[in-house]
Each structure stands twice: as C-alpha cells, then as structure tokens.
Amino acid sequence: MKTKIGIIICNRYHTCAGGKCFRAMKNREGAFSIYKKEDELELVGYTTCGGCPGGNIEYTPEEMVKNGVEVIHLATGLVVGYPPCNNISHFKKYIEERYKVKVVVGTHPIPQKYYDVHTKLGTWNSPKWQEFIQPTLTDEKIRLAYN
C-alpha cells in the first residue's frame, strides 16, 4: 500500500532541508510510526505555513490534495520551536474541515534538547499540548538521536 504525504513546516525554519523529517519518514519514527514498515510513503508536498498567522494554510493543502495527498503532517518544529505555534489546533481543524484530509501533528521525534527545555519551562503541561506531543515523544534514546 502507498500513502501520499504532505508536510507543512513552521516558516521560521523555512531554510530547513527536511533531513530529520525525511529520516523519520523512512525509519517510521516519531509521528511516522503510525505507518507500517512495509507500506510505501511518498512525499508529494513540502512547504511552510507562510509565517504567522499561517497564510499558506488556506491554500497549500489544496495543491497537496490535487497531488493525491492522503495525510498532511504539521512538522515537529511547530511544536518544539519557542514559542510553540499557538495556531496548531486551528490549522488542524481548518485543513481537516476544508480539505477532508487527515492531519497529524508532528513529523520527526522531539529532539532531547527541546524536550528538556520545554519540560523545565512547563510549556507542554496542558492536556492539549500533551496530545500534540504524543506522536513525537518517543523514548530518550531516539530523542537523543534527533538532537
């Protein structure tokens, strides 16, 4: 089975080459652990949110859907950057409602350095943030591998 994937990253990382996301996709780590190892994943779209407040969210999913995307991942950078994106809930809800496509929060595992600082700051203490970080939380060994 083949699943077509789109990734939307935080604009503050607009120069990111996607290495951690692509490695996680290949290895089925972080939020990509929901896919079976034997299933093929094809990346059909990769872009930024367009910068705060997320202008690209209105129209880039449409292009991804036209290219066959079945799942859009909101990149881990939206969760681990400081401050984390306050619009993740809105992005997820809007894309799912407007484009009828599944949205997953996260791509690669949370790097340990970000896990440590956000834990100390209490950034992710709310139930909403606990839900958002769950797909990319993994274990310390994997988090260290993504530092």
What value does the mean pLDDT take over residues 52-56?
Answer: 95
Distance CA 106, CA 86 (A): 14
Single out the residue of 62, 60, 8, 2 nearest to residue 35, CA to CA.
2
For the domain spanning 2-145, the CATH number is: 3.40.50
Q: Are strands 71-74 and 2-9 parallel, antiparallel or unpaired?
A: parallel
pLDDT of residue 1 exceeding 90: no
Residue spans of alpha helices (H) in 74-139:
77-80, 88-99, 112-121, 127-137
Q: What is the pLDDT of residue 144?
A: 97
Q: What is the pLDDT of residue 132?
A: 95
Do the Cβ atoms of 31 and 73 come closer than 8 Å?
Answer: yes
- The domain segmentation of the chain, as residue ranges, is 2-145
Task: Tell me the residue type at 87.
Answer: N
pTM of the model: 0.96
Both tokens assigned to 69: 């995307």
Tens-place pLDDT, residues 60-76: 999 999 999 999 999 99
Distance CA 71, CA 102 (A): 5
Tens-place pLDDT, residues 90-144: 999 999 999 999 999 999 999 999 999 999 999 999 999 999 999 999 999 999 9
> Rg of the chain's alpha carbons, rounded to an integer?
14
Q: For the residues of 31-91, what is the DSSP string, one character each?
A: GGGGS-TTSEEEEEEEEE--STTTGGGGTHHHHHHHTT--EEEEPTHHHHSSSPPTTHHHH
